[in-house]
Amino acid sequence: MRQSSLLDIISPIMVGPSSSHTAGAVRLGLLAKNVYDNEIEKITFKLYNSYAQTGKGHGTDKGLLAGVLGLSVDDVRIRDIFNSDIAKSIDYKFEYYNDFNRHPNAVDFIFEGKNKMQISGDSIGAGEIAIRKINEFSVKFTGKYNTLLLVYKDVTGMISKVSTIIQAENVNIASLHCDRSGKGETASMCICLDGDLNKNAIDKIKEINHLDMVRYVRKLGN
């Protein structure tokens, strides 16, 4: 049985009106920004289904942008984010779609800057979120755990090399999810951790051969 915390029930402190459509949107934006981890020149938000249909009245668009700009769910600037100075540094647009294959509250972020990256996520209820896809790879993480994301050439022993470094830090792996475009082609690994990895350990992981991308995404505070 799922063991929730009483603190989850009497929180978060958030800007209204909806935990899934407002707070969830902010958290999705924050997490996606942390995955991209580059200067954003342009961003396109593709909103799906309920996010597209009732998003305006719920401030979903404001929440997504605020999150990408690094605001937390209780920041009152969310309300007027389109007119705020911090939103002027970034070129953004919103698109709205219906797609029954997607979650009722789904969004794609298309980041453009030094590189281009598409990140897809869902707001799964009560402010909880999940990132489902980064570019063509399926992933699964929620911002509740510190998460290590790797993209690499599909070669033997990669999981072992990475997990050995994590084990040496005495950090427990909460979940591990792998995907690949094809045998011997590009692969991805998404590791959720119970503890925290220091920079030294992450640098060690970065030295492993055949890696295209390494991201260490910290869990969300709120």
Residues that bind other proteins (CB under 8 A): 1-20, 22-23, 50, 53-54, 56-59, 62, 74, 76, 78-79, 104, 125-127
- Indicate the residue among 43 and 73 with the shorter CB distance to other proteins: 73
* Choice between 48 and 152, CB closer to other proteins: 48
Distance of closest approach, residue 127 Cβ to other proteins, in angstroms: 7
- Nearest CB to other proteins, comparing residues 44 and 54: 54
Question: How far is CA 118 from its chain centroid?
Answer: 11
Distance CA 48, CA 176 (A): 28
> In whole angstroms, how close is the CB of 111 to other proteins at the nearest point?
26
Q: Is 174 exposed, middle or buried (0-12, 13-18, 19+ CB in 10 A)?
A: middle
Q: What is the smallest separation between the CB atom of 120 and other proteins, expressed in angstroms? A: 20
Shortest Cβ 6–other proteins spacing (Å):
3
- Specify the residue, 125 or 184, whose C-beta has the smaller distance to other proteins: 125
End-to-end CA distance of the chain: 24
Give the C-alpha separation, 139 to 123, whole Å.
Answer: 15
In this structure, what token pair is assigned to residue 197?
């990895």
Q: What is the dihedral of CA 73, 32, 142, 161, to 10 degrees?
A: -140
Tell me the HSE value of 23 on the side-chain side, using a 13 A CA sphere. 20
Contacts of 120 (CB under 8 A, 6+ apart): 106, 107, 108, 109, 131, 132, 133, 134
Query: What token pair was written down for 139?
Result: 């992933």
> Would you say 12 or 67 has its CB closer to other proteins?
12
Beta carbon of residue 222, minimum distance to other proteins (angstroms, whole number): 11
Which is closer to other proteins, CB of 78 or CB of 166? 78
CB of 29 to other proteins, least distance (A): 16
